[in-house]
A and B are shown apart, each in its own frame.
Chain A
Amino acid sequence: MNPTLYAARLGLARGWAEFRQSLTDPQQLGFNVFFAVAFVIVLLFQRDSTVEGTNVSLAFAVLPGILGMLVAVGGLQGAAGSLAVEREDGTLLRAKAVPNGMVGYLTGRVVSVSLGAILGLVIIFVPSLFLIPELTGIGLTGWLTFAWVLALGLLATLPIGAVIGSLAKSPSTVNGLVTLPIIGVTAISGIFYPIFALPGWVQAIAQVFPIYWLGLGVRSAFLPDSAASVEIGASWRHLETVGVLGAWALVGLVLAPMVLRRMARKESGANMEARRQRALQRIG
């Protein structure tokens, strides 16, 4: 039995367990319900208007972008937030004290963050099914496209999130490093309104980040091909989507092991104690 593979298998079980725990966590539960309600209200208001020049309802046009954005938020925020918190509270040090514990820990985190992100999608998608009848008409090709966009989206965001979480000094730093930029990038990524409304140079910036491409990718999966006419270049640009998301994934997958290893090596009880003291000062 290869101990590393064995630990990775334990990590799968660990990820599943932590995902299940997050389901019953009141704070997490409240957050999920709040999100679902907020989006349903937005979609309710958009239900009866249609996208100019088409017969696609506005709600149907906006939903894919929201789902795409949630993949990016789930991947980045989930990975960065949990790493920063678990570095501070000693979970990582605990993993380091166990043989191959880091392998198990990281596998577990990839599983639980991915499942958490998918749950975030389901929470929006299920009520949408009742509000947007077109959703039931997504064919197999659409679902397959959605599947690879989702997988690539997690690959593009989760490792980068882990890197940020390893570099952050404390969980509150993560807010500044992740949450605020996500809000900014979302605002310019054509999620809630067409990207055409923005100046050209802002559009260019938006297309550097994964959120725009995730929105575009999910739109390409759900919407009829005719809807591509209102996109940049009047095309779903799958090749570019794979290119940009793939590049982020590559950068993340190269950086993450190096940064994580460095962080794990530097992890010690004394460092944790120092962070604990800082955290207690924040709380107290």
Chain B
Amino acid sequence: MAVVGDVDRWAHHAEPAGEPAVIAVRGLRMRYGSVDVLKGIGFTAHRGEVITLLGPNGAGKTTTIEILEGFRMRSAGEVSVLGVDPGNGNEHWRARMGVVLQSWRDHGRWRVRDLLYHLGRYYVPYSTPERQRPYDVDELIQTVGLGEQAGQKIASLSSGQRRRLDVAIGIIGRPELSFLDEPTAGFDPHARRDFHDLVHRLSDLDDATILLTTHDLDEAEKLADRILILAGGRIVANGSAGQLIRQVAGQAEVRWSRGGEHLVHATDDAARFVRELFAQHGEEIADLEVRRASLEDTYMAMVHRYETGHVEEAVTGFEGASR
């Protein structure tokens, strides 16, 4: 498991033979003036993978995504996205990816269906027999749950509906790679579940690679094949939710009651502890509950571990992480 200091070990892990990575990043640095925002990031993403980028506000998530999208030049490091350096990506390269922006009020006078249809047509010249572009507009509108709003002006949408439209615009060109920056901000639980289904369909059926940021740790756990935690401009963890949880907060919490008394015990091996508990007290045990550490516990522990190890670079802005 990656902790601060041996990040490079993860730069090229588990690369399937023969197939080039969709995203390959090595030693990525970004400096604004005298401030280092990214201090040497490395990771890879492969076809069909869903990767979630977590981290406190100001950790460099958006900067990282914008460099990969080709919207921002980097200070140093090697970056390859769909086999191309994003600094030199042409329009054909652009057509293969989708970007979900943090928008707010653009195209307010357009109607939902009209805008989606218009933006989709830019992808027509890049359609191939294997990958028909764009998606069917009406199907996509149904998929993101905007069927009833298709004829509405965009300015009249609620923020959650607007975000669904952003997602639809981001994937209308049937991208091989999607960048989603906080795609579920403002979603109600139902919209959130729909979105999770959509992400699974894109990655499973369409073999799309997806890199998304979120502040919702449950969402990260549900969606991600792999989670990257970014803190203070470095990747402090890289692995599946399960791996991260086992690594950092390996302990489970066992709660039970005996003779009206409520008890708690933290253990590395919950199964064994419970077995011994029953062997010792048998039927006196009631209200048994085993609680594994959650991704949230893990996240907090990792960022905390990073912080205490690097007091001089303390990361600020935790309030966003628990939103």
What residues on A are CB-neighbors of B12 within 8 Å? none
> CA A10 – CA B65 in complex, angstroms?
28
Are B105 and A94 interface neighbours, CB within 8 A?
Answer: no
A and B contact pairs by CB, cutoff 8 A, 6 listed:
A1-B124, A14-B118, A90-B104, A94-B103, A97-B170, A267-B71
What residues on B are CB-neighbors of A3 within 8 Å? 91-92, 125-126
User: Contacts A21-B110, A99-B95 hold; do A269 and B122 have CB atoms under 8 A apart?
Assistant: no
Are B173 and A91 interface neighbours, CB within 8 A?
Answer: no
The reply on A273 being an interface residue by CB < 8 A is: yes
The reply on A7 being an interface residue by CB < 8 A is: yes
Tell me the residues in window 120-159 of chain B with beta carbons closer than 8 Å to chain A beta carbons: 121-126
Interface residues of A (CB under 8 A from B): 1-4, 6-7, 10, 13-14, 17-18, 21-22, 25, 86, 89-91, 93-94, 96-101, 104, 267-270, 272-273, 276
What residues on B are CB-neighbors of A22 within 8 Å? 109
> CA A10 – CA B119 in complex, angstroms?
9
Task: Specify which of A6, A93, A97, A270 is in contact with B124 (CB 8 Å cutoff).
Answer: A6
What residues on A are CB-neighbors of B62 within 8 Å? 269-270
The reply on B169 being an interface residue by CB < 8 A is: yes
Are A7 and B122 interface neighbours, CB within 8 A?
Answer: yes
Are A96 and B91 interface neighbours, CB within 8 A?
Answer: no
What residues on A are CB-neighbors of B290 within 8 Å? none
Are B109 and A18 interface neighbours, CB within 8 A?
Answer: yes
Interface centre among A94, A98, A100 (most CB of B within 10 A): A98
Interface centre among A4, A94, A270 (most CB of B within 10 A): A94
Are A94 and B106 interface neighbours, CB within 8 A?
Answer: yes
Are B106 and A89 interface neighbours, CB within 8 A?
Answer: yes
Are B109 and A21 interface neighbours, CB within 8 A?
Answer: yes
Closest 8 CB pairs of A and B: A99-B95, A3-B125, A91-B106, A97-B99, A21-B109, A90-B106, A268-B71, A99-B91
> CA A74 – CA B124 in complex, angstroms?
33
Q: How far is the CB of B238 from chain A (nearest CB, A)?
A: 24
> CA A254 – CA B119 in complex, angstroms?
29
> CA A71 – CA B101 in complex, angstroms?
36
User: Contacts A3-B126, A94-B106, A94-B169 hold; do A10 and B118 have CB atoms under 8 A apart?
Assistant: yes
Are B102 and A269 interface neighbours, CB within 8 A?
Answer: yes
14 extra A-B contacts, CB within 8 A, seeds A6-B124, A90-B101, A270-B63 = A1-B124, A18-B109, A93-B71, A93-B103, A97-B101, A97-B170, A98-B122, A99-B94, A101-B119, A104-B122, A268-B71, A269-B62, A269-B101, A269-B181
What residues on A are CB-neighbors of B105 within 8 Å? 89-90
Tell me the residues in window 85-114 of chain B with beta carbons closer than 8 Å to chain A beta carbons: 91-92, 94-95, 99, 101-110, 114
Are B109 and A13 interface neighbours, CB within 8 A?
Answer: no
What residues on A are CB-neighbors of B69 within 8 Å? 97
> CA A233 – CA B92 in complex, angstroms?
56
What residues on B are CB-neighbors of A270 within 8 Å? 62-63, 66, 72
Are A100 and B122 interface neighbours, CB within 8 A?
Answer: yes
What residues on B are CB-neighbors of A4 within 8 Å? 91
> CA A98 – CA B63 in complex, angstroms?
20
Q: How far is the CB of A39 from chain B (nearest CB, A)?
A: 26
Interface centre among B62, B103, B106, B124 (most CB of A within 10 A): B106
> CA A89 – CA B155 in complex, angstroms?
12
User: Contacts A3-B91, A94-B169, A267-B71 hold; do A99 and B122 have CB atoms under 8 A apart?
Assistant: yes
What residues on B are CB-neighbors of A1 within 8 Å? 124-125
> CA A6 – CA B124 in complex, angstroms?
9
Are A269 and B71 interface neighbours, CB within 8 A?
Answer: yes
What residues on B are CB-neighbors of A273 within 8 Å? 102
Q: How far is the CB of B108 from chain A (nearest CB, A)?
A: 8
Q: How far is the CB of B74 from chain A (nearest CB, A)?
A: 12
What residues on B are CB-neighbors of A14 within 8 Å? 118
Are B124 and A17 interface neighbours, CB within 8 A?
Answer: no
- In the complex, residue of chain A having the shortest beta-carbon distance to the beta carbon of B170: A97
Task: Specify which of A2, A6, A268 is in contact with B72 (CB 8 Å cutoff).
Answer: A268
> CA A16 – CA B91 in complex, angstroms?
24
> CA A128 – CA B242 in complex, angstroms?
76
Are B126 and A99 interface neighbours, CB within 8 A?
Answer: yes
Tell me the residues in window 158-175 of chain B with beta carbons closer than 8 Å to chain A beta carbons: 169-170, 173
> CA A55 – CA B94 in complex, angstroms?
64
What residues on B are CB-neighbors of A99 within 8 Å? 91-92, 94-95, 122-123, 125-126, 173
Task: Specify which of A6, A7, A91 is in contact with B107 (CB 8 Å cutoff).
Answer: A91
What residues on A are CB-neighbors of B66 within 8 Å? 268-270
Are B125 and A6 interface neighbours, CB within 8 A?
Answer: yes
Are B114 and A94 interface neighbours, CB within 8 A?
Answer: no
- In the complex, residue of chain A having the shortest beta-carbon distance to the beta carbon of B122: A98
What residues on B are CB-neighbors of A101 within 8 Å? 119, 122
What residues on A are CB-neighbors of B104 within 8 Å? 89-90, 276
> CA A3 – CA B92 in complex, angstroms?
9
